[in-house]
Amino acid sequence: MKKELNLSKQNEQFILEMKKQDPIFFSNLSQGQSPEYFVLACSDSRVSPSITANMPLGHFFVHRNVANQVVESDDSFSAGLYYALKHLQIKKIIIEGHTNCGGIDAACKTRQQYGQKQELDQKSKDSQTAEEGIMTWISEIQKNLHVQQQCKDLTNFELVKLNVLNQIENVKEHPVYKKYGESVEISGYVFDLSSGKLIEVAAPNPEAFN
């Protein structure tokens, strides 16, 4: 049986540990942020970009969604990318996928294939049910992976890697990136849940975290 989470106690421990490392850590943190990286990662609870890269607070400006998708119509992602590039002037963009991704698994297994959801497309976002909204998002994953063929031919790791590579290309084609960040490097990583390793799958140089 899982032990009940006590957020207050956990937070107190966190504060003690951080102050032990740096007595003025929180004072500095409150002065503002100047992160070096914009990170797109999956919403999966087993994946936390700052933790997997062993980076302290303040270095990663993070956007998360199911299966780390770059969707041009996603206003939340567009807003985050805009703020990161225009105002925070981040130096690099990182796309981080992970093995055993439930979003990719759902995209491969669902019967509602991309291009076969005309009824959902005819509905406005406001009138869609939660289930229909999920199906719309899954269809975006299917679109990126060309699931009818790829799910049969590729391993889980290959699918996750392909997804990361596709999202890199999607960022490059995003209007916000084209206007504010074309000189900003984009790197791709897969977090392997079975080993804890961050595996580089696409990067402009071998020192993406330096």
pLDDT exceeds 50 at position 152: yes
Quick: pLDDT tens for 44-94.
999 999 999 999 999 999 999 999 999 999 999 999 999 999 999 999 999
Q: Does domain 32-202 have CATH number 3.30.1300.10?
A: no
Q: What angle do CA 42, 44, 47 make, to 5 degrees?
A: 80
Q: What is the pLDDT of residue 23?
A: 96
The string over 57-88, giving b where at least 16 C-beta atoms fall within 10 Å of a residue's C-beta and e elsewhere, is ebbbbbbbbbbbbbbeebeebbebbbebbeeb
**Confidence class for position 102, pLDDT limits 50, 70, 90:** very high
Q: How many CA atoms lie within 13 A of 161 on its CB side?
A: 12
Rounded distance, CA 57 to CA 3, Å?
26
Helix (H, G, I), strand (E, B), or coil: what is residue 38?
A: strand
Q: Which residue has the higher pLDDT, 94 or 2?
A: 94
For range 179-200, the mean pLDDT: 96
Q: What is the pLDDT of residue 18?
A: 95
At what angle are helices 156-173 and 130-145 packed, to 10 degrees?
90
Range with lowest mean pLDDT among 10-24, 26-40, 144-158? 144-158
Rounded distance, CA 160 to CA 139, Å?
16
Q: What is the pLDDT of residue 206?
A: 46
Rounded distance, CA 179 to CA 94, Å?
18
Quick: pLDDT tens for 117-131.
444 444 455 555 667
pLDDT exceeds 70 at position 34: yes
SS3 content of the chain, % helix, strand, coil (to 5): 45, 15, 40
Q: What is the pLDDT of residue 110?
A: 81
- pTM beyond 0.95, yes or no: no
Q: What is the pLDDT of residue 118?
A: 42
Q: How many CA atoms lie within 13 A of 5 on its CB side?
A: 3
pLDDT exceeds 60 at position 160: yes
Q: Are 95 and 60 in contact (CB under 8 A)?
A: no
Q: Are 40 and 93 in contact (CB under 8 A)?
A: yes
Domain boundaries along the sequence of the chain = 32-202
